[in-house]
Amino acid sequence: MGCGLAGWLAVKAYKQPVSVLVVIHTPDLRVLLLERADHPGYWQSVTGSRNPGETPEQTAIREVREETGIEADECVLTDWNLSNTYEIYPQWRHRYAPGVSHNTEHVFGLRVPHPVPVTLSAREHLRYVWVPREEAMKMVFSPSNAEAIEKLDKIAGKP
């Protein structure tokens, strides 16, 4: 029996089926949306899966930094105490362990003082826009994202 690589089992790192959705907004309820690089035309708020050992808040802070360059801990990050469980879109199921079909998403809001410049992760997003809340609700592809944006005026409070 040899000592070659054929004897080793490759272990695939699957995404955890726990994620965050972070609605980044200004006091006057302009919302930051990002266009997905892997699906042009799909707009969304910041999203991302939890890494092992992270709390949802730590995941939110990390994902905001990775996807936008914004330092969430320097702004007003709020846990909305909302979570959504939804079926993972078939085109993204391969990222999860076999048999995993649903994800639990924890919703946060991040208030910034005004529409700030964003540094995109090129492998994840093509471009960004700051749009009024009503327009953002229509642009996002995810129903849970649209519902979160719809609740923005009640949760974040109108100026």
- 11-32 pLDDT tens trace: 568 999 999 999 999 999 999 9
Q: How confident is the model at residue 3 (pLDDT cuts 50, 70, 90)?
A: very low
| Record: fold of 20-156 | Nucleoside Triphosphate Pyrophosphohydrolase (3.90.79)
Q: Which of 68, 63, 61 is nearest to 121 (CA)?
A: 68
Query: CA–CA separation, 155 vs 143, rounded Å?
Result: 18
Sorted by where each begins, the domain ranges of the chain are: 20-156
Q: Do you know the residue count of the chain?
A: 159
Q: Which of 103, 95, 89 is nearest to 14 (CA)?
A: 95
Query: CA–CA separation, 158 vs 29, rounded Å?
Result: 8
Q: pLDDT for 31-73, tens place per residue?
A: 999 999 999 999 999 999 999 999 999 999 999 999 999 999 8
Query: CA–CA separation, 74 vs 56, rounded Å?
Result: 17
Q: Return the pLDDT at 65.
A: 96
C-beta of residue 139 within 8 angstroms of C-beta of residue 42:
no
Q: Return the pLDDT at 117.
A: 94
- The chain-wide mean pLDDT, for the chain, equals 90
Query: CA–CA separation, 48 vs 63, rounded Å?
Result: 6
Q: Is the pTM of this model over 0.95?
A: no
Residue 95 CB-half CA count within 13 A = 13
C-beta of residue 69 within 8 angstroms of C-beta of residue 92:
no
